[in-house]
Every structure is written in structure tokens, then in C-alpha cells.
Amino acid sequence: MLRGGSVLRLQGLQAEGKGWREIARETGHSKNTVKKYLRDGHPVEAKRRPQRRTKLEPFIPQIEQWMSEGLFNCVAMKQRLEKMGYTGGVTQIKAFVHPHRPPRQVQAKRRYETKPGQQAQIDWGFCEEQDENGRTHKVAVFVMVLGYSRSIYVEFTRRCDIHSFLRCFIHALEHFGGVPKFGLTDHMKTVVSGRNDDGTPKWHPLFEDFVLTVGLTPKLCRVRVPQTKGKVERGVGFVKDNFWPGRRFTGMADLNRQALTWCQEQDRRIHGTTGERPCDLMQDEQLNPLPSPDRLQKFLREERKVSMDGFVSWDGVRYGVPWRYSGRTVLVRQVGTKIEIWAEGECIATHERSDRWSGLIRLPNQYEGLDAAEGRIAPKAIAVRVAQTDVEQRPLEVYEQFALGVGAC
């Protein structure tokens, strides 16, 4: 007996105009078999094997009742049916229940919008840079988005530590011209280090000092729920997909100049969610004023210890300072394309910021006067023995009176 597929093949060959003998020769079937299935041009239906009775069939009414009551867990059904005499597997139950299972409900998310000046969302991302030698390096990108206007600020750095985070944070506030009421971040180590006994966040000390200085209230998004700060999450992805691919730049300063221009361009486009230009909505942002620059200076400087050969390491590059500061702690500050090194309230060295990932940059006259200083020998500490004639002479009676007085006591 031929199955359905074989019968269809015979019909296809007949439709091509081939005779019974030719069809029999091609298919390997006998001529009588071909005639049987194609006699008078009418196909003969292949007989189907009768479906066997399954072990589940007697229990189908019970399963249907359970489904009407809301039970669709097939494992639970199997456990109950076994008590009723069912000896089959769970696969049969799943095959029967699957067409009747209600569709899974989509977990919809309510879009959360903030009022003007209420919130900024902050996050880090990472991109890959290829240097002139073909080596790849990870570059951190700081992104801040204002919740109401969707205005964006982007800055690239070599590091994403607390000092880089606060420096970029200040630059973003200066770019927007004010301070929002709340700042929303995830549980990054530069923001929070854990929880107190009462469950409140244990803020990073320097970050806590910073938000108190600028007048911003920090908020943490829910753990493993990135949708809480979806605006900046999409902003980071937008930077990676729109700004970064194929970008050409000569160094970090040039890269950040291009990033700032790109931010201004994006603020002038129609935003897909609000239907407005961020630059127009920025006029309605009610940001609080920035504190005075002198109050922010301490967050823009980083402590570094000078090596014994007179160099300070910053972003992987070693910058020279006068040799007399070797072994001492100094403050390093980035001002535009310059690196300033301060000690005791005085700027002791200024360098052009290097865009290399390593290297040594000397300071002119860095070791001036070192040879002369090494030639000087510091005087040794000594004690002086005086001549015996210089000691005060006293008559013996004085000592005898002194001894009598002690005895009397």
C-alpha cells in the first residue's frame, strides 16, 4: 500500500503527461500498482492507519474539567492522574493541554514621565577604541539625560572611578546650566557601597559630599530592572549605535569636542517620544542654580603621590614635577587640554594632556639643582665635652651641710 507522499508523486508524474509504463519505470512500482492508484485519472486515497487509543484518553474529561477551573500545570495534572490510575507520561498531557492553554499575558510597562527640573538619569557605557598600532582599548562614556526635555550630555574618559564620575557630573551640570532635583543611577560602586543596618543606602563618602554641595538628591533604580532608568539606558545605546561607529578622532580632547557637537545636534532634532525638540523643552526646565566654582574645586582635583624619580601617574601617563616634591602628596587637575599639578596651594607643573595610553612626559628643568643638593652633606648631631676647669668649684663644707640636712629629714 502506498502512502500519501507516494500517491502524490504518481499524480504529479501523471500531470506531466507521462504514461503508466513510464511512471512505473521512474518510480519502481509495478504497472498494475500505478494503474490502481491512477485508474481513469482519479487518484485513489491512501488508507490511513487507524489511530491507536492512548493511555490518556479515559482521563480527558477530567483534564478538561481541571482546565475550566484554571489548572494548566501538566506536572500537577500527572501527579493527580496517577492517583486515578494513569500510567502514561507527561508528554501526552502536554500535547493535549497545549492547544487549550491561554496566551501568556504581556507584562506591559507604564511610561513614567517627570516634571521639568525634577530628574536626571546617569549611567556609564563602554566603547572600544583602536589605536594607531591596531590595539584595542576600552573607553568609558558618561551619559546624563534630563528626564523632562530629553537633553543629553556625553563625555568620554579613560576611567570610570569616583573622580572621573564627579568630574563628568560637574561638566554635565555646567552644560545644562543648573542642577535637577533628583539624580537617578544604578547601584554603581562610585555611588553606593552597600546598605546600612536600617536598610538605607550607604553612599560613597565623596559622592555624598558632592550631592550635598550641589543640592541634588540621589535615587537608586530597582536592582536588575534597567527600565527604571530607561531614558539614559536608551541614551547609552544611542551613543554606541549612532555616534561611535566609524568615528575618527585624534585624542580624547578631540573626541569630547565631537561628542559635545553631537549632543547639540541631537537636542535640535525632533525626539521620537516627546515629539518635541529637547532644546525647546530645555527652556521649561526649572533647574536649581549651580554652586560657586570655588566650592566645586575639591571635586575636580585628585590626590597623587610623587614617585622618587619625580613623576605623577594620571590616566596611565607619568607627568614630571620638580624633583624636590619627590615622595610628597600633590593634587592633579585637568583643565581643558592641560594637566595641572598643585602642592601647598601653588601650581608646580603644567603639561599638555597626553592622548597615549602610557608614556613619560618630562618637565623642563625638572632636575635643576639636584646635583648640588646631592653634594651637600648635612652636619651630624654631636655632643660637647667641656674641660674640668670649666666645672663650678664648691667648698667641702657645702656638701657636709647638705648631707646633715638630708639626715635630719
Query: Do residue 164 and residue 205 come from a single domain?
Result: yes
Cβ proximity of 140 and 126 under 8 Å? yes
Query: Do residue 247 and residue 316 come from a single domain?
Result: no
Q: In 39-161, which ranges are continuous DSSP H helix?
A: 60-68, 74-83, 90-97
Give the strand order in the sheet containing 317-320: 311-314, 317-320, 359-361
Query: Is 141 part of a structural domain of the chain?
Result: yes
Question: What string of DSSP letters covers 30-53?
Answer: -HHHHHHHHGGG-PPPPPPPPPPP
Residue 321 dihedral angles phi and psi, to the nearest 5°: -135, 160
Last-in-domain residue among 255, 273, 294: 294
Query: Is 406 part of a structural domain of the chain?
Result: no
Query: Do residue 267 and residue 341 come from a single domain?
Result: no
Query: Do residue 321 and residue 290 come from a single domain?
Result: no
Please tell me the total count of domains within the chain: 4
**Residue 279 cell numbers, joined:** 532644546
The helix or strand, by DSSP H or E, that contains position 399, with its residue range, turns out to be helix 396-408
Query: Do residue 207 and residue 269 come from a single domain?
Result: yes
Query: Is 192 part of a structural domain of the chain?
Result: yes
Query: Is 118 part of a structural domain of the chain?
Result: no
Query: Do residue 245 and residue 358 come from a single domain?
Result: no
Query: Do residue 352 and residue 269 come from a single domain?
Result: no
> Residue 286: which CATH number?
3.30.420.10
Query: Is 344 part of a structural domain of the chain?
Result: yes
Last-in-domain residue among 294, 321, 340: 294
Query: Do residue 90 and residue 221 come from a single domain?
Result: no
Query: Do residue 339 and residue 278 come from a single domain?
Result: no
Q: What is the per-residue pLDDT for 216?
A: 92
Query: Is 388 part of a structural domain of the chain?
Result: no
What is the greatest pairwise CA distance in the chain?
163
Residue 141 dihedral angles phi and psi, to the nearest 5°: -125, 125
Query: Is 355 part of a structural domain of the chain?
Result: yes
Query: Do residue 266 and residue 288 come from a single domain?
Result: yes
Q: Per-10-residue mean pLDDT for the chain, 409 residues long?
A: 68 74 81 74 52 84 89 90 91 90 68 84 92 87 94 93 93 95 91 86 92 92 74 91 89 91 94 90 93 90 88 88 89 86 88 82 84 58 67 64 59
Query: Is 116 part of a structural domain of the chain?
Result: no
Compute the distance between CA of residue 331 and CA of residue 344 in angstroms, rounded to an integer.
9
Cβ neighbours of residue 346 under 8 Å, at least 6 residues apart? none
Compute the distance between CA of residue 160 and CA of residue 236 in angstroms, rounded to an integer.
15
Q: What is the per-residue pLDDT for 147?
A: 92
Q: What is the per-residue pLDDT for 367?
A: 83
Last-in-domain residue among 269, 294, 319: 294
Q: Which domain holds residue 61?
A: 57-99
Query: Do residue 156 and residue 217 come from a single domain?
Result: yes
Query: Do residue 187 and residue 331 come from a single domain?
Result: no
Cβ proximity of 24 and 14 under 8 Å? no
